[in-house]
Amino acid sequence: MNGKFIVLEGLDGAGLSTQVALLGEHLNSNGIHFLVTKEPTNSLIGGISKAALSQEWRTSPDALQLLFCADRAHHLSSEIEPYLAKGKVVVCDRYLFSTLAYGYASGVNYKWLRSINLKFRLPDLGILIDVKPKTAISRLGEEPSNLHLFERQETVSRVRQAFLSIAKEFHLKKVDGEKSIMQVSERINSLVDKFLHV
pLDDT(137) > 60: yes
Residue 162 has pLDDT above 80, yes or no: yes
Average pLDDT over residues 24-31: 96
SS (H, E, C) the chain: CCCEEEEEEECCCCCHHHHHHHHHHHHHHCCCCEEEEECCCCCHHHHHHHHHHCCCCCCCHHHHHHHHHHHHHHHHHHHHHHHHHCCCEEEEECCHHHHHHHHHHCCCCHHHHHHHHCCCCCCCEEEEEECCHHHHHHHHCCCHHHCCCCCCHHHHHHHHHHHHHHHHHHCCEEEECCCCHHHHHHHHHHHHHHHHCC
Q: Give the structural domain span for 120.
A: 4-196
Read off the pLDDT of residues 35-55 as tens digits, 9 standing for 90 and up: 999 999 999 999 999 999 888
Residue 1 is predicted with a pLDDT of: 54
Q: What is the CATH number of the domain that holds 140?
A: 3.40.50.300
pLDDT band at 89 (very low <50, low <70, confident <90, very high): very high
154: confidence class by pLDDT, cuts 50, 70, 90: confident
Question: What mean pLDDT is predicted for residues 62-84?
Answer: 97
The pLDDT of residue 142 is above 60 = no
Number of domains within the chain: 1
